[in-house]
Amino acid sequence: MPSGILENEAIDIWNVTNGKRFSTYAIAAERGSRIISVNGAAAHCAEVGDIVIIASFVTMSDEEARTWRPKVAYFEGDNEMKRTAKAIPVQVA
C-alpha cells in the first residue's frame, strides 16, 4: 500500500466525526481506487463521509526512537492525498 501500511497489519481507527475508536487490520483495495472501507462488526463504528485517522505503530529501540519521525498524510473528501508531513502539529483543544 502506498501508505506504508502492510496488508493485514494491525491498525487503529479514530473516528473524528463520531468519537468512536477501534482496532482492526488493513485490507488492500485496488491500487489508485482511493477506497477506505470499514468491514464486519467495525462497520458499525463508521459511515461514508466520516473523517477518520488511521494509525499504525512500530516497536523500536530507544536509540531508533530518538531519530524516528512519523509519516503523516492528509487527504481531502475524495480521499485524494493533498500533502504529507514528518511531524504532527500541536493543536490547542
Known binding-site residue numbers for substrate: 24, 40-42
Catalytic residue among 1, 12, 17, 25: 25
- The x, y and z cell numbers of residue 32, run together, are 489508485
- The Cα diameter of the chain in Å comes to 41
Binding-site positions: 24, 40-42
25 carries an active-site annotation: yes
Could you list the active site residues? 25
